[in-house]
Chains A and B, each alone.
Chain A
Amino acid sequence: MTNGRPLSHVEHHRAIVDRIVSDLRPVRPRWPVGARLGAWLLLDLVVAAWVVTHTHVAFVTKLRWPSYALELAIFGGAAMLAALLALRSAVPGRDPRRIEVGLLVILAVGGSLLLASTPLRSDYLLSNFVRTGLPCAYMTCLLAAGPWLGLAWAVRRAAPMHGAISGALVGAGALLFSFALMRIHCPVDEPLHLIAWHLMPVLIVIAASAFFGGRWLRFRPTAIP
């Protein structure tokens, strides 16, 4: 208001521009999506190296099984795609396209179907099932922690417009990656174990990550004083 009279649009525009120009400070643009993805993959490589050097499973021998190798490749590829889409979703105007999200879902579902291709065992004792499963669920989340934090940090530093979508993609990137690592680390190849103690935690944490994203990842300009 000037002298009790409301500002015209031109005056209002001028006032906003003056204020922005007076506050203007040089900033360094965020790294391009490809560079940030590269940094995240380096972090993943460190986690993967730790798993490979600490596992007692002869996974190199298992890699000769086509379905096992394909499964690892599918979940690794899906994790990379999810991370790429998460980083892109944090740049306004570069939201993931439906076809890209569709491809991610197809990869994840395809990989899960491969899990079920091995025959089911029916001689399980419930106590054994839980005893061997709980550490796997715990490790799945633990291995995802670093990649999740790294990716969430990279996304938060940009400007994600749809927090829940970015959160779900961050979760998918980190958890699909840890799922692939757990296929190396865990000696059990039984589908029921993999679905209950590997896949279910992945789905639960992705849902939690989407919730977190909706609440805390979304870009919100600070209130104007």
Chain B
Amino acid sequence: MARLQQGDRDACRALLDDIGPAVMQFLRKRIANREELEDVYQEVFMALYEARRSYEPGRPLEPWLFAIARNIAADHTRHYWSRARWEELSADPPEIADSTAPEAPPNLEQALTGLPPAQREAFTMLKLDGMSLEGAAARAGVSVAAMKVRAHRAYKALRELIGREK
């Protein structure tokens, strides 16, 4: 990263190629739509480029990198939900509610959407991606203790959410 700041093109290319898969994996957990995912991926890279001055040489890259990626993804999600809410409000309401629709079985993916973003991220990294506590904490930019608390709260909330669905 320090060489990228000095304008070394080879180092820049190598670094971006190196972090690409990790950034993609990070964004996939947050954005489902493939086209939007690619747009956000591009935005993250552009943001990394623009924020390159703010990286302090000698400090670990991961927290800096994922803080920027998290910020861009959160911005996207906020816009997505405000747009979805607007579309929902502006759409015509159905005349008769469909009371015969079968009840969906409890679904982890659905339950995960009911969690606050920090808890969802903790659960996904630890249980679905199999990351270590230390790795997940570094990626989320929090201490290991804080990550443990988030995971614990996520398990508790998921148990309640899935129990309620049943």
Residue B42 CB within 8 A of the other chain: yes
Residue B80 CB within 8 A of the other chain: no
Number of chain A residues close to chain B: CB under 8 A? 34
Task: Pick out which of these stretches binds chain B: A23-31, A50-58, A64-72, A166-174.
Answer: A23-31
Question: CA A98 – CA B75 in complex, angstroms?
Answer: 23
Residue B7 CB within 8 A of the other chain: yes
Task: Pick out which of these stretches binds chain A: B56-64, B127-135, B157-165.
Answer: B56-64
Contacts of A90 in B (CB 8 A): 54
Contact B38 A12 (CB under 8 A): yes
Chain A at the B interface: SS class: loop
Selected A-B contacts with CB under 8 Å, 7 pairs = A21-B13, A21-B16, A27-B53, A29-B2, A92-B63, A93-B64, A158-B54
Residues of B at under 8 Å CB distance from A? 2, 4-7, 9, 12-13, 16-17, 20, 24, 35, 38, 41-43, 45-47, 49-57, 62-68, 70-72, 141, 143
Question: CA A97 – CA B144 in complex, angstroms?
Answer: 13
Contact B9 A92 (CB under 8 A): no
Contacts of B141 in A (CB 8 A): 93, 95
Contact A219 B53 (CB under 8 A): no
Q: A29-B56, A29-B57, A221-B47 are in contact. Are A94 and B7 (CB under 8 A)?
A: no
Contacts of B56 in A (CB 8 A): 29-30, 32-33, 91
Q: A9-B24, A90-B54 are in contact. Are A219 and B42 (CB under 8 A)?
A: no
